[in-house]
Structure formats: structure tokens, C-alpha cells
A and B are shown apart, each in its own frame.
Chain A
């Protein structure tokens, strides 16, 4: 009989533990959302040809030529306290011409540096700074060619300008 009692008690104990083990009234699952930092930039295309023409007044240098036909778009997400900037660099300089560029920045999209000259080749210059988390799709790019000296005429000379959205120090 003692053996039967022990068995019953053991069964009761196991049943009790089983009861405790499976009677879960709350279950959980985890949702994890990861936001990666985003730095995306694009331009609408190539600007029109800047054609330098003879000056109206003999003895003058040819007048400046500008193009505003292209736009820039960017999307940026940064952590609090961090900002980005847009730099531009030109692969090589034009003979007898200084090239300037301006990139606008709408409200909340950063701060335009205004017109900036590509002074040296392969050197990044700041065009928009203080870019936080934002997106903008149609900021105007203005190129201006300023003749500095009379040189031998040349045509269809293309220079590549590279725009980069990068972290500010």
C-alpha cells in the first residue's frame, strides 16, 4: 500500500508540475525593425553645352555663359546630431575658362554654399552643407563658365563633375 501511495503522490506531483509547465497565459514574439543609414544622390542629366561666343565689344573677353537645365535630388537619413554635405569635383579644368556651380537647397534640405568655383581639378568643394534627414527631388544646379583668357578655340570638350553626398566631419 505504501508503494501505491508513493506512486499516487508521484503522479500527483508530476501532474502538478505539468500543470504549472503548460498553463502559460502569456506568450511573446519579437518585432525588430532595422533602419539603415541612407545617402542617395542623383542628377537629372547633363547640362546643356556652354558655348562661348565673340564679345559684343572688340577688346572685351567673351561674356559668361550659364546653364540651369539640370537638377539634383538627394535623400539622407542621419542620426541625431549628425549632418551630411554635398561636394562636387571636376576631373580636369577647362583651358581659359573658370567653371562655377551653384546648387540650391530648399528649406530644411541643407544650406547652399552659393556659387562655388572649381579651382583645382579632382578636388571636392562644398556646395550644400548641414543636410540632416530629408529628401528633395529638384534642386537647381547652375553652371557658369567665365572666360579668363583668350585661348585657341575648342569644341565638344566635356569635363566630368562628380557630386557626392558624404558625412560632415
Chain B
């Protein structure tokens, strides 16, 4: 019994701290992606015309869940690209409030996703099933054929 005592208190503290950590930690998950193929069917008026310049994903291309019980948070967004073309501009907006006990605001208008974190939307406590939509602008026949990829990062931080 005596030899066990030194372990009991740290163990209890560890449980409390860890559960405390879970209770107050903020986490984010994103599910989904967007793939868009642009070909001759996207010419504005057949041969001789240019491509439509703007494309949109489904309104729920990505679904974000945020767990942030008891805390306020903000979500920033940025992209890291590979084989991107300088004339292409990727934007993002939030198309639903999702569900949950918390609140959510901002991000309902398209904003360009750049290579550095920019504020997207904010809220408190937990929100699930927050839908996100993408928009691509700047498309023209001058963009060479190929595959262009952007990894979009959503970073949640406590505020």
C-alpha cells in the first residue's frame, strides 16, 4: 500500500489533466476534395472562343468539423500548390453553418486562398458539417494543358 501511494496522486492528476486537455483542446477535420476537368466542352461558344473563366465546386465539396468545447476559435485557410499557374485564382467560402452547440460566423463570401494563412471563419464550442465551396477564376486558353493541384490547409486556433 505504501509503495503504491506515490503513484496514485500523479495518476489521478494525469487523468484530470488529460481529460482536461480533451475538454479544452480544439480540433478540426476536413472531409472531401474538388476535382475539375476543363476541356473543349467548356469553351464559351465552340471553336474560336475562349474557355469559361470561372468554375465552382459543389456547395459541399468539403465538410469541416470543429471540436472546441468551451472555447472560441478561428479558422485560417491557405494553400500549398504544385504545378499551379499564375493566372489561376482559388477562392473558398462557407456555405452552411453546420450543426452543434456553438456559434459560427464569417466566411460566407468567396475569398481568395493564398499561400499564407488568412482568416476564414470563427466561432465557439463545437460545429459539425460546415460545408465549404471552392471557386476557380482566371481560366483561359492560355493555361497550358496539365494537372494543377492545391492542398488547402484549414488551421484552427483558440482565440
Shortest distance between the CB of B44 and any CB in chain A (Å): 9
Give chain A residues whose Cβ lies under 8 Å from the Cβ of B148: 32-35
Q: Does B101 interact with chain A (Cβ within 8 Å)? A: no
Q: Does A153 interact with chain B (Cβ within 8 Å)? A: no
Q: Does A63 interact with chain B (Cβ within 8 Å)? A: no
Give chain A residues whose Cβ lies under 8 Å from the Cβ of B21: 15-16, 19, 23
Q: Once bound together, how far apart are the Cα atoms of A40 and B22, in whole Å?
A: 58
Count contacts on B: residues with CB < 8 A to the other chain: 64
Shortest distance between the CB of A73 and any CB in chain B (Å): 3
Q: Once bound together, how far apart are the Cα atoms of A32 and B82, in whole Å?
A: 10
Chain B window 57-70, contacts with chain A (Cβ cutoff 8 Å), 1 for yes, 0 for no: 10001101001000
Count contacts on A: residues with CB < 8 A to the other chain: 48
Contact A4–B8 (Cβ < 8 Å):
yes
Contact A30–B151 (Cβ < 8 Å):
yes
Q: Once bound together, how far apart are the Cα atoms of A2 and B40, in whole Å?
A: 73
Contact B151–A23 (Cβ < 8 Å):
no
Contact B8–A8 (Cβ < 8 Å):
yes
Contact A77–B143 (Cβ < 8 Å):
yes
Chain B window 118-157, contacts with chain A (Cβ cutoff 8 Å), 1 for yes, 0 for no: 0000000000000010101000011111111111111111
Give chain B residues whose Cβ lies under 8 Å from the Cβ of A136: 48
Contact B11–A8 (Cβ < 8 Å):
yes
Q: Once bound together, how far apart are the Cα atoms of A21 and B37, in whole Å?
A: 36
Shortest distance between the CB of B88 and any CB in chain A (Å): 7
Closest chain A residue to B154, Cβ basis: A27
Closest chain B residue to A1, Cβ basis: B4
Give chain A residues whose Cβ lies under 8 Å from the Cβ of B12: 8
- Residue of A79, A133, A138 touching B141 (CB-CB under 8 A): A133
- Residue of B28, B88, B136, B150 touching A27 (CB-CB under 8 A): B28
Give chain A residues whose Cβ lies under 8 Å from the Cβ of B134: 31
Give chain A residues whose Cβ lies under 8 Å from the Cβ of B34: 29-32
- Residue of A24, A73, A133 touching B27 (CB-CB under 8 A): A24
Shortest distance between the CB of B90 and any CB in chain A (Å): 6
Give chain A's interface residues, CB within 8 Å of chain B: 1-2, 4-5, 8-9, 11-13, 15-16, 18-19, 22-42, 73-80, 133-138
- 13 examples of A-B residue contacts, CB within 8 angstroms: A2-B3, A13-B14, A19-B25, A25-B156, A28-B30, A29-B152, A32-B34, A34-B146, A35-B38, A40-B43, A42-B47, A133-B143, A135-B50
